């Protein structure tokens, strides 16, 4: 039996209305600082949408799972 490790990168964050997001990191095109202050950032997604995010809620995860073949 062979084990294959799969890696996925996810990003978790909360927007200014309190909505929580969990997205594949690959869908985040860029992030920019919000002119209103350091507690907010703009997240630009690959589909063209923008989300205003609470900086303190930003978490990056690397998920490693094992698949046996």
CA dist 60 and 48 (Å) reads 21
Question: pLDDT tens digits, residue range 51-67?
Answer: 999 999 999 999 988 87
SS3 45: strand
Question: pLDDT tens digits, residue range 24-60?
Answer: 999 999 999 999 888 999 999 999 999 999 999 999 9
- Model confidence, pTM: 0.82
Q: Which residue has the tokens 């205003």?
A: 52
- Type and span of the H or E element at 65: strand 59-68
Domain ranges within the chain, ordered by starting residue: 15-61
Angle at 54 between CA 30 and CA 58, to 5 degrees: 65
């Amino acid at each position: 039996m062979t084990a294959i490790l799969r890696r996925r990168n996810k990003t978790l964050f909360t927007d200014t209305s309190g909505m929580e997001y969990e997205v594949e990191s690959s869908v985040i095109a860029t992030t920019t600082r919000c002119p209103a202050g350091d507690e907010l950032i703009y997240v630009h997604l690959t589909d063209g949408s923008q989300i205003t995010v609470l900086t303190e809620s930003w978490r990056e995860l690397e998920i490693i799972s094992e698949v046996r073949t």
